[in-house]
Chain A
Amino acid sequence: MRLRREFSSLKQSTGFDFQHNHFQLFGLAPSFQLDSAKLELQYRALQAQVHPDKSAHLGETEQRVAMQQSTLVNEAYQTLKSPIRRARYLLLLNGVDTQEETNTAMPVDFLMAQMEWREAVAETQQARDLNALEQLAARMKVETRALEAQLAVKIDTEQDYAAAAGLVRKLRFMEKLAEEIDAAYDVIDM
């Protein structure tokens, strides 16, 4: 990977280590439960050092390096900030593939619930019922939080990565559902 190679060749000159994983980058322990205030603080501190605006008056090379470093810091921050992405990344670090594209074996009751959710979203959209949609969004958020709480136990406490991967696949369904709710908002708002 080209970017990666350029990254590693630069680490000595800048004290910025491209080999670090996202947690190391922000000086955080690799766990699902995370001090989000510290993450935010560290993110800003790092961007304050590497953001391209800091080297806009320098040469092309410095500017390109800054862009790459800043891009990586953004990527790492976005990954750790989002619970599903953070879980996926932690599993990857532990050599576990979440198989979101290949493993479609889902508990029947979960799939049934998903179908009901989607029908409900479609109905509110058709009826242009903003209140009903907001209620759906709130319920979905509660459901998502519950799955995330289970993830914390499976990853941090039990280190049961296979079970965690199953939860990530469920969260992926919830994420798609959230996208549909967003799209429904846009349709009702037209």
Chain B
Amino acid sequence: MALLQISEPDLSTAPHQHRLAVGIDLGTTNSLVATVRNGISVVLNDENGRAMLPSVVRYAADSSVTVGEAAQIEQSVDPTNTIISVKRFMGRGLKDVGDTSRLPYRFVDTDGMLQLRTVAGVKSPVEVSAEILKVLRMRAEAALGGELVGAVITVPAYFDDAQRQATKDAAKIAGLNVLRLLNEPTAAAIAYGLDNASEGVYAVYDLGGGTFDISILRLTRGVFEVLSANGDSALGGDDFDQRIHCWLLEKNDLSALNPQDTRLLLTQARAAKEQLTEHDRTRITAVLSSGELVDNVLTQDEFQSMSHNLIQRTLQPLRRALRDAKLSAADIKGVVMVGGATRMPQVQQAVGEFFGQIPLNNLDPDKVVALGAAIQANLLAGNRSGDEWLLLDVIPLSLGIETMGGLVEKIIPRNSTIPTARAQEFTTYKDGQTAMSIHVLQGERELVSDCRSLAKFELRGIPAMVAGAARIRVTFQVDADGLLNVSAREMGCGMEAAIVVKPSYGLSDAEITRMLQDSVQHAQDDMQARARQEQQTEANQLLEAVQHALVQDGELLDHQQRSRIEAQMTVLQGSLKTEDTLALKRAVNALNEATVSFAQARMDKSVAGVLTGKNISQLETK
């Protein structure tokens, strides 16, 4: 085909050096993908012009997966297989979720991270999240016209190690190279900071669909230094919906609704919450599956009083963050509002009163995290722009190990700037002891039972010695993603002790491998479908080009040549109607071959045309 098309040599575009990278905000309610184009961070829309992808995944019996708006529309019809707010389950066990009776899912209680039984099989929250990430990856690759070098995925600043690891695993399964896990408030600060060229100490108040973060940052020329972070990884806009939902149940004397009705009322509750951002009152109507009618008017005042203590719950982490940064509210130069839930007037008011200033809402609170993540992704991918900046973030929760009596000894305190490492020495307490078990925890409380168990690991192969003689140095390294890695070494004989890590909530390597394989299988199916489509497009383009050439330069062919070409065209048209990709490819090749001399003849004619009217010297200088 290429031979038939004669193009100007100068028009061919040189391969550009820009490395394609995106920022992804994997949200509880909505997810977004953004990239830096021509130096400006932009959110990438879907083919219908929508920026936000609802973080909703529906599994069907035939294993097909629907993600986003299409899944969201069906959530009331098929609540059990339509997973919403999956972020709340990342790196979490069943007992962390609390009251599951209000949730329409069939949970599988396992030792570690909870799982969901769907019509398409048991799914880990990591797999569900990977489905959302895949859709965003494909959206980005289609929009940018190439494969991504990598992505920055945002996580709530207050996410612990298990939640961060789960997010990174989801990205891996979605085929994304994770350049960095970036804290959401920090991403927002980048988007704001670079726009406003601000200096001073700022607070970022980020109330999302299911998580709350507060970060205190100091901005000096080109440096974003997080001084402290705090939050609640199980508090967000969803909880406000729940309050309205409970109010509806009470008002209408309802109890024990089926999953469909629960979902229906929650959807109506969310709509009511959004209405109350602009209006003083809103009417909530719904027809339950029993035929019962729900019809109530909710006023702004009622909503404020029922959600008062939710907002108070955000102020406590705020005070802690300030104390950790050794600052008071008066030291804060500006307060950046992030997350859709900060649109609620009562949130704006409470935060404004706390800091004694009007919060900043210049950038869309739904998009600012993705925009900042894209800016950071562009930098991390190695695309040099004029200005460079440095981001110094912290680990939000202390890391420690279990000691005698079920107590936790802190090894890396919260708000340590990452990357950071700490080494600790251990010894044996029995003669001849060759193994040792170490329990790693995360949290601020003193008791093991009040902290989050991250992993238990065993050191094996310690040389047999008298009690107390072996010296095992365990190094805790937290990387720039805020993820913990542990290594151990016997100091006496210099032997590297083997470590067997059992993550308390994470996935094992074997599970990740299986999920990757599943994902690759799907990807292969997708690839074959895409290959066929490309082949068809190519065939159609070739047929069109040959047809056009025959009309234009048909006189260059003798009768025999022409009929040979026409025969191959018929063969190709025939194989376009079949499913046989290989036959189609062969027919394309055959037609290409049959047109070689024709193309040559056209080339000669065309060149002759160009040369006409030019003298030798002009040709030489060219």
A44 CB within 8 Å of chain B: yes
| Interface hit among B110-118, B355-363, B475-483 | B475-483
B421 CB within 8 Å of chain A: yes
What total count of A-B pairs have CB within 8 Å?
72
| Interface hit among B4-12, B31-39, B62-70, B374-382 | B374-382
The 0/1 profile, CB within 8 Å of A marked 1, for residues 210-251 of chain B is 000000000010110000000000000000000000000000
Contact B417 A2, beta carbon cutoff 8 Å: no
CB-contact partner of A47 in B149, B316, B392, under 8 A: B392
A67 CB within 8 Å of chain B: yes
A71→B381 CA distance, assembly (Å): 22
Contact A57 B319, beta carbon cutoff 8 Å: no
A101 CB within 8 Å of chain B: no
Tell me how far the C-beta of A46 lies from the nearest C-beta in chain B, rounded to whole angstroms.
10
When distances are taken between beta carbons in the complex, the residues of chain B under 8 Å from A56 are: 150, 179-180, 380-382
A52→B379 CA distance, assembly (Å): 12
When distances are taken between beta carbons in the complex, the residues of chain B under 8 Å from A75 are: 420-421
Tell me how far the C-beta of A166 lies from the nearest C-beta in chain B, rounded to whole angstroms.
26
When distances are taken between beta carbons in the complex, the residues of chain B under 8 Å from A146 are: none
Q: 8 Å CB contacts to B: which residues of A20-68?
A: 44, 47-48, 51-53, 56-58, 67
Tell me how far the C-beta of A8 lies from the nearest C-beta in chain B, rounded to whole angstroms.
16
Tell me how far the C-beta of A165 lies from the nearest C-beta in chain B, rounded to whole angstroms.
22
When distances are taken between beta carbons in the complex, the residues of chain B under 8 Å from A47 are: 390, 392
A190→B475 CA distance, assembly (Å): 34
Contact B477 A67, beta carbon cutoff 8 Å: yes
The 0/1 profile, CB within 8 Å of A marked 1, for residues 577-596 of chain B is 00000000000000000000
| Interface hit among A86-94, A102-110, A153-161, A181-189 | A181-189
The 0/1 profile, CB within 8 Å of A marked 1, for residues 394-433 of chain B is 0000000000000000000000111111010000000000
Contact A57 B381, beta carbon cutoff 8 Å: yes
When distances are taken between beta carbons in the complex, the residues of chain B under 8 Å from A52 are: 419, 479-480
A78 CB within 8 Å of chain B: yes
Tell me how far the C-beta of B309 lies from the nearest C-beta in chain A, rounded to whole angstroms.
13
Contact B390 A185, beta carbon cutoff 8 Å: no
Contact A57 B380, beta carbon cutoff 8 Å: yes
CB-contact partner of B480 in A44, A48, A53, A78, under 8 A: A53
Tell me how far the C-beta of B364 lies from the nearest C-beta in chain A, rounded to whole angstroms.
26
Query: Number of contact residues on A: which range applies?
Result: 20 to 34
- Measured CB to CB, the nearest residue on chain B to A41 is B220
Contact A51 B319, beta carbon cutoff 8 Å: no
CB-contact partner of B419 in A57, A70, A182, under 8 A: A70
When distances are taken between beta carbons in the complex, the residues of chain B under 8 Å from A189 are: 316, 319-320
A121→B549 CA distance, assembly (Å): 93
A185→B475 CA distance, assembly (Å): 32
A114 CB within 8 Å of chain B: no
Contact A2 B489, beta carbon cutoff 8 Å: yes
A3 CB within 8 Å of chain B: yes
Tell me how far the C-beta of A56 lies from the nearest C-beta in chain B, rounded to whole angstroms.
4
B460 CB within 8 Å of chain A: no
Contact A74 B417, beta carbon cutoff 8 Å: yes
Q: 8 Å CB contacts to A: which residues of B451-496?
A: 473, 475, 477, 479-480, 487, 489
A1 CB within 8 Å of chain B: yes
B323 CB within 8 Å of chain A: yes
Contact A44 B323, beta carbon cutoff 8 Å: no
Known: A57-B380, A67-B479, A189-B319. A44 touches B419 (CB 8 A): no
Residue count of chain B within 8 Å CB distance of chain A: 35
Known: A67-B480, A75-B420. A57 touches B19 (CB 8 A): yes
A182→B322 CA distance, assembly (Å): 12
Contact B477 A71, beta carbon cutoff 8 Å: yes
Known: A2-B487, A67-B477, A70-B480. A53 touches B390 (CB 8 A): yes
Contact B390 A74, beta carbon cutoff 8 Å: no
A186→B379 CA distance, assembly (Å): 39
B391 CB within 8 Å of chain A: yes
Tell me how far the C-beta of B378 lies from the nearest C-beta in chain A, rounded to whole angstroms.
11
Contact A71 B420, beta carbon cutoff 8 Å: yes
Contact A182 B323, beta carbon cutoff 8 Å: yes
- Measured CB to CB, the nearest residue on chain B to A58 is B382
A189→B420 CA distance, assembly (Å): 30
CB-contact partner of A185 in B323, B392, B418, under 8 A: B323
- Measured CB to CB, the nearest residue on chain B to A181 is B323
Contact A44 B417, beta carbon cutoff 8 Å: no
Q: 8 Å CB contacts to A: which residues of B499-538?
A: none
CB-contact partner of B379 in A53, A71, A78, under 8 A: A53
Known: A2-B487, A52-B480, A67-B477. A74 touches B420 (CB 8 A): yes
- Measured CB to CB, the nearest residue on chain B to A47 is B390
CB-contact partner of A1 in B320, B420, B473, under 8 A: B473
When distances are taken between beta carbons in the complex, the residues of chain A under 8 Å from B473 are: 1
A74→B480 CA distance, assembly (Å): 12
- Measured CB to CB, the nearest residue on chain A to B225 is A44
Q: 8 Å CB contacts to A: which residues of B313-336?
A: 316, 319-320, 323
When distances are taken between beta carbons in the complex, the residues of chain B under 8 Å from A186 are: 320
Tell me how far the C-beta of A171 lies from the nearest C-beta in chain B, rounded to whole angstroms.
17
Tell me how far the C-beta of A53 lies from the nearest C-beta in chain B, rounded to whole angstroms.
6
A29→B443 CA distance, assembly (Å): 37
CB-contact partner of A3 in B149, B223, B376, B421, under 8 A: B421
A-B contacts besides A58-B382, A74-B417, A190-B316, 10 pairs, CB < 8 Å: A1-B473, A51-B390, A52-B419, A56-B382, A57-B179, A70-B480, A71-B420, A74-B416, A74-B420, A189-B320
| 21 contacting pairs across A/B (C-beta < 8 A) | A1-B489, A44-B390, A48-B222, A51-B390, A51-B392, A51-B480, A52-B480, A53-B379, A53-B390, A53-B391, A56-B150, A56-B179, A56-B380, A56-B381, A57-B380, A67-B419, A67-B479, A71-B420, A189-B316, A189-B320, A190-B316
Q: Which 5 A-B pairs have the closest CB atoms?
A: A57-B382, A56-B380, A52-B480, A71-B419, A71-B421
